[in-house]
Structure formats: C-alpha cells, structure tokens
Structure 1
Amino acid sequence: MGGTSPVANSGSLEAEKLVAELRSRALALGFDSFGIAPADARPDLPEKLHAALAAGWHGDMEWMAETSDRRASPRGMWPEAKSVIVLGINYGPETDPLAILGEPSLGTISVYARNRDYHEIIKGKLKELAGLLARRSGAEVKVFVDTAPLMEKPLAEAAGLGWQGKHTVLVSRDFGSWLFLGAILTSAELPGDIQHEESCGSCTRCLDICPTNAFPAPFQLDARRCLAYLTVEHKGPIPLEFRAPMGNRIYGCDDCLAVCPWNKFASVSREARLRARPELERPALADLVQLDDAGFRALFAGSPIKRIGLARFLRNVLIAIGNSGDPGFTPLVEARLGADDPLVRGAAIWALRRLAPARARELSLAYLPRESDSSVAAEWTGDI
C-alpha cells in the first residue's frame, strides 16, 4: 500500500496535522488506544529476545527462533520503517472470567476466544487506517496483527499505550490487561508519543495466581509452563505435571490478566463482535466431548479455537473432565478410548484413570495389547 514519498520531518506542522487526523479516524473505526513510536525505539529487544530463546522459553514455537532476526526489531523486518503506529481495542469482559473455574462440569474458554477471531476484526480496521496514511503522506505502510514477527507489546509500551506488566502482558491505565494490539509500520517519519512508566509497583497478583508457576521472575514468561501456550500452541500431550493445574481451562488461561488491579478501569468492549457468544461463556464439557469434526467446525466457525483442530481441543476437554471429579462422565470418556488420534486416546485414558480407576484397569486388558502408539500405551500403564 502507498507510495514512496515520506511525510515531512516528525516535528513539522504537516506531520502533527496528519497524526491528529489518524487519531480521530482510529477512534471512529473502533480503536480505543492509539500511539506512535520511532521504529528504533526499543534497542533492548534483540538482547531480551535472544536471552528468552536461549533459555528455551518459547517451547515448540519454532517459528519464534526461525524469525528471531526479523522479530528483534521493526527495521530488522523492514529496513525502510521509520515509525510504528500501535493501536489497541478493548475486549474487556462483561463478567468475571475466573468465576467459571469453580464449576468443574463446564469448560473455561479464554475471554479473547469467546467470539470472532480478533485478527479478522482488527486487520480490516488497520488496513483502512493505513490506507488513509498512505494517501495523505505518500509513504509506504505495512499492517500487522499478531501473525508476523513483530513484537507488539514492547512497541505498544514505547508508543505510550501502557506498559508490560509483571505477567508480560500490556497493561493500560484505561483498559487494564484487556487490549488487543495491532500495528502499522510506515516509512513516514511521525512524531512519537510519550512512553508510560511501568506502574505495577509492589503488586504480584498476576504472578501469585499462576496455576503452573510460569513466571521465572517478574516480567519474564516461560511459555513451556503456561496454560495459554499448552492448551493452544502445544501440539503433543499435555505434560503430566500441568494436567491437574489445568482444572477446567480448555482454551487459554486468563488468571494473570483477570486479577490485574488496573482492570477496575476497563469497560466492556465497544466492539460487539468481541463480546462473548452465550454458548461459549458456559459450555458444558459433556456436550463438548461429544463433538465430531463437523460439529466442532460449526460451533467454532469464525473463532480462533477452530485453528487448533478437533484433536487438540478434545485433548483439552478430556483433561478438564479428568479434573472434574465426576464419575458420571465415565461413559463419555470411554467413548473416546478408540479415537483415531492418539492425542485424544491418551487424554481419554488419563481422564478415565482419574475418574474410575477400577474401570480403567479392567479396560486396559482389552485396549493395551492392541495399542500401537507408545505414548498412549504409557498412559494405560502409568509410565509417563
């Protein structure tokens, strides 16, 4: 998008008028936060990124290592970038997302995934705003929504939208921890906003509530221990030590976000498509575990949950059922013991052993001799 002529230097009246127009248009499009930073505003990012990768905190998200050179800075990805516009949309929930954790027959879905895929919603708005910038300035523009190697959160911090909290999520004075982020890189040189000071103080609520101790230290996250990563990005069986702490979280984890004291300033999202669909606010595990592929696709049409596929989703649901303590789920779990996908079979065995150990021992006599997958066989024998 756009031409090649840069806008006048960032201190010019022309640039300031352009930014005012962009800010106004962003608000009209439904964005709640708007800020600008120089593309080279965070020279500390390469060192921090490479330290996290060296520690292995990215788990099996190999793409983070593969794109590290580009991810380390906006100019590493696009050398012509001079400014980055970062925008946020509030997705604050209408109810406490942690309340459902106390209802083990229901599944807990992260707030961000309870309706339309935010990538689709934000990208169209970003493209419209970027088009305006290109037309007014003649500059080149590139649009990003969490799908390219761009580190939006530290750039949002540099652009004055908030600060990265101790849970590593962006915290806003106006919207707490509930902001979706998108970015526009441009060859235009635009005046930057003032960066906020980190304002977490001595609070450690987000660290203390984490069910899997995923924070090695404040402001550091080991994704390998994070339930948001394990239930969404992780492709294999859930590691044994994290299954019980999952509780009934079947997609994502909002604990560290939901307890942030700054959330008291967050309102409900203005964007109706980001508000929870009723059927995804309190879904019954008994219904979810019976989904076939067609039912899964229909229920999660347009949702980010659809991207993980049925097998990973059933893995999560079966772990939640195993944590329910309700033997009444046993027939539904048994129905998944013969699933084609070993990921589903293994989770079903774990759930059965938790809910009905005697029945699990009985069925192992029939299932174990014909099990060809070693990881599933280990679930029957407990050698995991």
Structure 2
Amino acid sequence: MTISISDHPNVALRDEIRAEALRLGFDACGFASASDAWPNGGWLREFVAEGFHGAMGWMEETLDRRAHPTAMWTDAKTAVVLGVNYGPAHDPLLALEDGSRAAISVYAQGDDYHEVIKKRLKALARWMHGRFGGEVKVFVDTAPLMEKPLAQRAGLGWQGKHTNLVSRQFGSWLFLGSVLTTLDLPADPPERDHCGTCRACLDICPTGAFPAPHRLDARRCISYLTIELSGPIPVEFRQALGNRIYGCDDCLAVCPWNKFASLSAEMAFHARETLKGPSLAELAGLDDPAFRALFSKSPVKRIGRDRFVRNVLYAIGNSGDAALMAAVEPRLTDPSPVVRGAAAWAAWRLAPKRLESLAVASAEVAPAILDEWRAALA
C-alpha cells in the first residue's frame, strides 16, 4: 500500500522546520529526497563533455561529487532547500542605456550573498540538530551540489530555458542554499515547468550563449566571460559586452514571471549607492587598495582588481565617448598585462589615430599585448 505524504510520520516535523526557516529570514523553503534517482548528473556530464564549462576546470574535477546529492554525503536522506528573494527595485536593463556608466549584475550590487545566506543556513541547521537530532550539513553555491534541480524537486521553482531557477512568486530573483540531513522528511511536490512557448530569455542573450532551450554554453556567456575568465576576453564577444562589467542580467530581467516579483526585504541585498551605475572613468583608475575598499563585502571582490579593470576598459571601448581616452591612456602602461591589452583595444575603438601615435613611443614588450596593438593598428 502506498503511503501518502499526509500519512508520513514526520509531516509535523517538516512543517516546524519550514516555519523556523521563514522566521530566520528565508523567503522560501521546500523539501526533496536526497537519495532518489538523479538524472541531472547525466546532463552535467554532457555539459562538460561538450566543453561548455570553458575554463571552469573545477566543474570537471568535481563531476563525480556533483553527479548525485548522496555523492556529497552518502548518509543524506533529505534536502531542505532554502531561497532568499533578491528582487531589485528597478529593471536592470535600464542600466544598459548609459554607455558611460557601468552595469553590474543585480546580485553583486549589495553584500555577498554567500556570507548572508550561510549564516542563516548554519542557524537553521543548528536549530534542526538541537530540536530533532540527526546530522546536518549546509551548502551554498560554492559547494559541488546542484541546487537548482534540487530546488525544482522541492517545489521552489523550475529551471527555465535560461537554465536558472524561475519562481511563480519571485520570478528569476532567488538566491539558493541547502541543508542536507539524515532526517527522513516528507518531500514537497516538485514544481513543473511554466515557460510554455516563451523564449524571451534565449532571444535577448547578447552573445548567443544558448544553443538550445535549457542548454547553456558558458564559454559565450557574459557572466562567465567577465567573472570566470582570467585572460583577455575573446575579441568576438567584446562589443557584445556593452557596459556590462560584472555579470549579465539580461536573460533574468526579461523573464515574464518577474511581474510577480517584489523588492527584496533583505537590506543587505539592496544596491549600494556607489554601485548604482558607477562612472566607468572612475572605475578605470582604481588601484588594488581602492578596488578592495569599494567592493568590501561584495562578491565583485573575488575577481580581483586586474580582471575588473579589464572589464571596465572593454566597456569604455564600447562607449563611443572619445573623452574617456583620458581614463584609458594611463592603463596602457598598467603593471597588469591583461589590463594593458584591454586598454589597447579600448584606445583603438575610441581614437585609433591616437593609439597609432602612442604605439610609436611605446616600450611594450609582452607578446600578447603587442598582438593586441598589431591587431588594432592593422
């Protein structure tokens, strides 16, 4: 005889955990089996086999651990999946209209969500262990756990055609975290796909990073290019960056389900005034201490000053504002080769004749940077 969810002996326990999660500040809480069959592991292997992960070698290195939740922890029975709304106050696409100012992904305009969510996850896990026993482990993004498929199983939303989680209540704006436990808790009904025939997220992508619905080629994704890639961004994608200097919100922001989203209640995720369309000219002049100070507590700090200024210079090159050459020229002699290369490209885009005169007096010797100059002046 099949036992219904309502007959499960731990229904009351599950409901008490959900109430505590909401009390701690989570906006969504769902439960999924951690031990059921897991077809997503096969999808991930295909993703890596096709090279879609690009330079993210850690995805290949941790492939076996990502293949199934119990590969992370064999004793896990239940995944408690938590979501925190980080809905912005304004349409992120508006930031793309002023080419002299920077567009920073919504999730990175406030405090680092890893730190905010991890504290709450630990608090919930401690409470669970003290209240009900059982062993617990917490995970938030950086661990090799496929949280978006888990979130769909737990009823928080579904993976849209852009591969991100979409919620009927919060649109595309949910940070995720999980608590795995040895407690046997009843699962919530999984969420079904509500995308229908819509393909807005696929069509808006500036670099064509979606070869098909539900498939992402990270090598073409602006978030990957501006955050994960450490060297020069391939020339074929630079103009498509526009003024996006950290991440890209286009496929998230265009989702029709965002009409049901609301402003995040978490003040730590509200955009800092200094990160609401900051000046590209000012950002290009950041040295390492100034970069660290500006992005204290922000996820942006993890890419480091050189990679960040590289992105800023590409954006300046796309601005069409020749006055920004004043911010570019000092970077042509920057200590960082990747910055110097980006500066050469930006100078070529804004003032090719000026770049030609600078090349005559240049003492540049790095082969990769000389290649940038030669390509620009060819």
- TM-score bracket for the superposition, by shorter chain length: over 0.9
Unaligned runs of 5+ in 2: none
Instruction: Give distance in 2, aligned partners of 1:257 and 1:280.
Output: 19
Inter-CA distance 10–80: structure 2 relative to 1 (3 Å threshold): farther
Secondary structure in structure 1 of the residue aligned to 2:92: coil
Q: Which amino acid aligns with 1:115?
A: G
User: What fraction of aligned residue pairs are identical, expressed as a percent?
Assistant: 57
In the alignment, structure 1 residue 66 sits paired with structure 2 residue 64: no
CA-CA distance at 1:14 after TM superposition: 5.1
Q: Note the aligned Cα RMSD (angstroms).
A: 1.4
* Deviation at residue 19 of structure 1 after TM alignment: 1.2
2:154 to 151, 155, 159: 159
* AA in 2 matched with 1:372: V
The runs of at least 4 aligned residues of structure 1 exceeding 4 Å deviation read 9-14
Contact 2:332/2:340 (CA < 8 Å) preserved in 1? Answer: yes
Give 1:115's aligned residue. Answer: 110
Partner of 1:340: 335
Instruction: Give the counterpart letter for 2:138 in structure 1.
Output: V
Match of 1:215 in 2: 210
Query: Is the 1:289–1:332 contact (alpha carbons within 8 Å) kept by the matching residues of 2?
Result: yes
Letter in 2 for 1:272: M
Q: Which residue pairs with 2:272 in the alignment?
A: 277
5 Å matches for 1:159-198?
159-198=154-193
Task: Select 1:378's aligned residue among 366, 371, 376.
Answer: 371
Corresponding residue pairs, total = 374
Distance in 1, matches of 2:289 and 2:64, equals: 40
Check whether the contact 2:243–2:315 (CA below 8 A) recurs between aligned residues.
yes
Q: How far 1:21 moved relative to its partner?
A: 1.2
CA distance in 2, matches of 1:183, 1:133: 13
Which residue pairs with 1:238 in the alignment?
233
Contact 2:232–2:338 at 8 Å: present in 1 too?
Answer: yes
The alpha-carbon deviation at position 373 of structure 1 amounts to 1.9
Give, in angstroms, the shift of residue 317 of structure 1.
0.2
Equivalent of 1:128 in 103, 108, 123: 123
Q: Is the 8 A contact 2:8 2:186 kept in 1?
A: no
How much does 1:375 deviate?
1.3
CA distance in 1, matches of 2:8, 2:207: 51
Residue number in structure 2 paired with 1:92: 87
1:103 partnered with 2:98: yes
Alpha-carbon distance in structure 1 between the residues aligned to 2:163 and 2:37: 16
For 2:139, the equivalent position in structure 1 comes to 144
Q: CA deviation at 1:10?
A: 8.0
Question: What is the letter of the counterpart of residue 263 of structure 2?
Answer: V
**In the alignment, structure 1 residue 47 sits paired with structure 2 residue 28:** no
TM-score (norm 2): 0.97
Corresponding residue SS for 1:323 = helix
Deviations 1:337-357 (A, max 9, x none): 001110100000000000000
Distance 2:5 2:60 in 1: 34
Contact 1:18 1:136 survives alignment (8 Å): no
Q: Alpha-carbon deviation of 1:136? A: 2.2
- The answer to which of 197-206 and 42-51 deviates more is 42-51
The equivalent of 1:287 in structure 2 is 282
Query: How many angstroms does 1:133 deviate by?
Result: 1.3
- For 2:326, the equivalent position in structure 1 comes to 331
Q: List per-residue Cα deviations over 1:328-382 (Å, max 9, x = no partner).
A: 0112100100011101000000000000000111111222xx3332211111000
Q: Give a deviation string over 1:264-302, Cα, whole Å, max 9, x none.
A: 000000111111111101101111111111111111000
Which residue type is aligned with residue 187 of structure 1?
T
Q: C-alpha displacement at 1:40, in angstroms? A: 2.8
Q: Which amino acid aligns with 1:317?
A: V
Q: What's the CA shift for 1:11?
A: 6.8
